[in-house]
Amino acid sequence: MKKPRLMTPGPANVPEDVLLDLARPVIHHRTAEVKQAIAEVTEGLKQVFRTQHDVLILTASGTAAMEAAAVNTVPRGSKAIVLNAGWFAQRWLKVCQAYGINAVSLDFEWGQPVDPARVEQALAEHPDAVAVMGTLSETSTGTGHPVAEIGQIVARTPALFAVDGISGVGAMECHTDDWGIDLLCVGSQKALMLPPGLAFVSVSPKAWARIDAYPNPPCYYLDLKAARKKMADFDTPYTPAHTLILALRTALKRILAEGIEHVWARHRRMSEACQAGVTALGLELFSARPAEGLTAFRVPEGLKDSDIRGRLEQKFGITTIGGQDKLKGKIVRIGHMGYTDELDVIAGLAALEMVLDELGYDVEPGVAVAAAQRVLLNRNVTAAV
Amino acid sequence: MKKPRLMTPGPANVPEDVLLDLARPVIHHRTAEVKQAIAEVTEGLKQVFRTQHDVLILTASGTAAMEAAAVNTVPRGSKAIVLNAGWFAQRWLKVCQAYGINAVSLDFEWGQPVDPARVEQALAEHPDAVAVMGTLSETSTGTGHPVAEIGQIVARTPALFAVDGISGVGAMECHTDDWGIDLLCVGSQKALMLPPGLAFVSVSPKAWARIDAYPNPPCYYLDLKAARKKMADFDTPYTPAHTLILALRTALKRILAEGIEHVWARHRRMSEACQAGVTALGLELFSARPAEGLTAFRVPEGLKDSDIRGRLEQKFGITTIGGQDKLKGKIVRIGHMGYTDELDVIAGLAALEMVLDELGYDVEPGVAVAAAQRVLLNRNVTAAV
C-alpha cells in the first residue's frame, strides 16, 4: 500500500470535513445562506489576517489578487518598487509590465531576505513611488521576508504596501494592520486549507483613498470598487465559487478553534523540526531566513532532485516539489502548511532518510527524525484542537 | 420533509459522482495526473463546443472569460458592436467601458431576439468594428438568440464574433466552428454540471490572428497568449482550480456518454414541456424566442413574484430566480439545465400549480403537468444514458 501524502507548499492538504462540504449539493449563490457564509468567512479572514479593514473575495487564483492590488492602485506610467527576491516576487514585475507600470526592481539574491534598509533607501530615491510590492513567504526559495520592518518603513511614505501573502498567510505570523500592509493578497489553497479557486485581498483605508482617487482603472472582473460595493451586502459582483466559500467556513472554524497564534506556533514548530532534520542529514538549507510553511534544501553534490523526489513519490507516496526557473534541479522543497501536523513532518523526514540512503548518500537512520524530535520535545506539540 | 430542488439557470444541479470527485484528497496541480485531466477535459470541451480549435481554461467566473475575449482582441479606442438585449449582454458594454473600447450598442427589447438584419446593417455602417459581442442564451430574459445566423454575417467581415455562451452551451445547440464563433465564453456552473469556479474560452484561428497582432493587451491573469503557451503542455499559467478540472472530467464523460446531440434534445424537450405547462396555466412566457436552459414567465396580474418563488421554496424546497434590473418583480425564471431531467420539470410544474392555487390564482390541478406530458409523450424521453 502507498498512502498519498501531499507535502508541497500549496496546494496543501485539505481537512476531511472541508472536502465533504465540497460534496454537498449545490445551492444558489444569491441566497441568505450564502450571504451568511460570506459574512462569516469575511469575519474569519479578518481575524486570520489580523485586519479590521475590508477583505474582498475573488473567484480566481492568488495571482489575480496581486493583479487586482496593482491595477486598482497604480496608473500606467506611475512608479512601483518591487522587492524582487524570487520567482513569485517577479510576478509583481510581470503584472507591472502588462499594465505599463514603471517598476523599480530591487533585486536580492534568491534565498536571501529583503533588506529593509534598501527599501528605505529606494523610497527616498523614488518619493513618487505609488506602491511597494513585496512577499511574505517566497514560495520559490522558501524564504520569509521581514514584512513587519518593511511595512513600518513604507507606512511613513505615501506609498502603499502590497504583499503577496499567498503561501505565507496562515502559516506565518502576519499582522496586516499593525505591520502597515495596505493590500494583502492570499490564495485559498495553502495554509487556509482549501483547494485552489478563491483569492482574497485586504484593503486598508490608505489603499481605498488611493483607489477612490483613481477613477477608471483598466479592470473589470478585478475591480475592487465593484467588489467593495457588493461586499457591503455580503455579495459579489460576479458568480462566486460559493461552494468553496461554504467550505472555507469550515476551514476557518478549525483555524479559529485552534487559535491563529497556535496555528502560527504549529507552523513554526514544524518548520524548525524540518530544518533540524534536514540539517542533521548534512543537507544545506537553501534560505538564509526560512519561511515557515515550507523547507527548501539544496540537492547534495552527486544526487539529482528528480531521484530524491521521484523515490519519495514512488516508494512513499510523498509529493514534494523541486526548484523553479534558475533553481530547477538545485533544490527540493517540502511543504508543511495548512492541514499538516508535526508527525507528518517526522514521517516525511523518515522517508527522506531512507530515500537518501538508497541513493547512496551517507545516512545514519533516524538522525533526521531524532533531530526533529529534539525540537519538538519540551514544546507544546498537542494544541487545544 | 422538504427535499431541496435547485431550479435556477445556474448554478445548476451537479451529479453526485461529480460532487464526490470534489471530496477526494487534493493532489498537486503540476502532476502527470492533472495534465492528463487537462488534456481530456480540453478534448471533451471541444466536442461539446463543436470546435476543432483551442479551448482555454480560466480559474474564474464566466465574466472573466468575456473580459478575456474583449481585452485580448480589441484595443482601447477601437470599436466593438454589442448586441444588447438583456442584463448579461450589457456586461459586454461594461467590459468595453472599463477598457476604453468604443462600444456601439445595438439595443433590442428585453425578451426579443437579436435581429440578424440589424447586425448586418451595423457591420456595414461600422466596417472598422473589431468585434461583435453577443449572447447565445440571455439568462436574464430566458431568450435564445439566432447565433448561427449572426455568425454567418460576422464571418463575412473582418470582425470577430465573441459569444457569451455561459448559460447556453451544453443546453442549446451550439456549433462554434460552423457558426463562425471566434470566441466562445462558457462557465462551469451551468449545463456543464459543475460548481462555479472555472471558465472556458474557445479561440478560432481568426481570433488568434487578431490576438497575435495586438502586442501588449492590458491584461495579465486573463492573457490568452499566456494560456495558449501553457496549454501546449496541458498546463496553466497560474494555479488552476484543478479539483474542479478533475471533476469536470467526470461531468464531461456523462455528457459525452449521453451524446451532446441527445443532451441538446433533452434540454429542448424540457424547455418545450416547461413552456407548455406554464402556458397551460394561462401564464405568459416572457421571451419571444425562449432559450432552452430556462423558462421565464411574467408574474400574473395581482400576484407577487416573491410570493410565488417564496412558496415554491418554503413548501417544496424549489429554488427559482426572479427578474434582474428592470425585470425585478416582473418575471419568474425556472432553470432546467445540466443535471436535470424531464421529471424534474414535471415536479416543478406540479409545485407551481399548487402554489398558484394557494395564492388564489385560478388553477385546474394537473393542467400544467398534463400539458408537459403531452409534449413528452411520443418523444424519446429515455436517453441512452
Q: Note which residues in 71-100 of chain B have CB less than 8 A from chain A.
A: 94-95, 98-100
Which sign does the torsion angle of CA A97, A99, A105, A109 carry?
Answer: negative
Q: Classify the complex by whether its ipTM is higher than 0.90, answering yes or no.
A: yes
Residue from B154, B127, B141 nearest B87 by CA: B141
- List chain A residues with pLDDT less than 50: 385
Question: What would the mean pLDDT of B149-157 be, rounded to a whole number?
Answer: 98
Residues 6+ apart with CB under 8 A from A79: A101, A102, A103, A104, A126, A128, A129, A130
The DSSP result for A288-345, as a single string, is: SSB-SSEEEEEPPTT--HHHHHHHHHHHH-EE-EE--GGGTTTEEEEE--SS--HHHH
pLDDT at position A109 is: 98
Number of Cβ atoms within 10 Å of the Cβ of B215: 7
Q: Name which of B12, B98, B189 is nearest A219 (Cβ-Cβ).
A: B98
pLDDT tens digit sequence for B26-51: 999 999 999 999 999 999 999 999 99
| pLDDT bucket at B2, cuts 50 / 70 / 90 | confident
- How far from B162 is each of B2, B128, B289, CA to CA, in Å? 42, 16, 21
Angle between helices B242-258 and B32-49 in degrees, nearest 10: 40
Residue written as grid cell 484561428: B205
Q: Are B131 and B74 in contact (CB under 8 A)?
A: yes
Size of interface A-B (CB pairs under 8 A): 175
Query: Which residue segments constitute the domains of chain B, with CATH numbers given?
Result: 5-10+260-376 (3.90.1150.10), 16-257 (3.40.640.10)
Could you tell me the pLDDT band of residue B6, with boundaries at 50, 70 and 90?
A: very high
- What per-residue confidence (pLDDT) applies to A190? 97
How high is the pLDDT of residue A382? 58
Closest CA to B339 of B280, B261, B254: B254
Min Cα separation A218/chain B (Å): 6
Task: Pick the residue of B91, B193, B238 with the most A CBs within 10 A to test the interface with A by mutation.
Answer: B238
- List all residues 6 or more positions away from A128 whose beta carbon is below 8 Å from its beta carbon: A78, A79
Amino acid at A79: K
Among B19, B20, B241, select the one facing A196 at the smallest CB separation.
B241
- Pair type for strands A183-187 and A160-164: parallel
Residue A46 burial by CB count (10 A; 0-12/13-18/19+): exposed, middle or buried? middle
Give pLDDT tens digits for A9-51: 999 999 999 999 999 999 999 999 999 999 999 999 999 999 9
Interface check B219 vs A, CB under 8 A? yes
C-alpha cell at A372: 526533529
Nearest residue on chain B to A75, alpha-carbon basis:
B218
Q: Residues of A annotated as binding site for substrate?
A: 333
* C-alpha distance across the termini of chain B, in Å: 30
Segment B49-89, tens digit of pLDDT: 999 999 999 999 999 999 999 999 999 999 999 999 999 99
pLDDT score, position B378: 74
Q: Which residues of A touch B197 (CB under 8 A)?
A: 59, 197, 241, 243-244
The rounded distance, in Å, linking the Cα atoms of B103 and B97 is 7
In chain B, pLDDT over 90 holds for what percent of residues?
97
Q: Chain A 3-42, CB below 8 Å of chain B: which residues?
A: 4, 6, 8, 10-14, 19-20, 22-31
Residues comprising chain B, all counted: 385
Residues 6+ apart with CB under 8 A from A233: A35
Q: End-to-end CA distance of chain A, in Å? A: 30
Distance CA B91, CA B198 (A): 18
Residue A349: the pLDDT is 98
Quote the pLDDT of residue A378: 74
pLDDT tens digit string along B332-364? 999 999 999 999 999 999 999 999 999 999 999
pLDDT digits (tens, 9 = 90+) for B183-211: 999 999 999 999 999 999 999 999 999 99
Residues A371 and A277: beta-carbon distance below 8 Å: yes
Amino acid letter for position A238: Y
Give the sheet arrangement for strand B183-187, strand by strand: B54-59, B198-203, B183-187, B160-164, B129-135, B79-84, B102-107
Q: Is B333 among the annotated ligand-binding positions?
A: yes
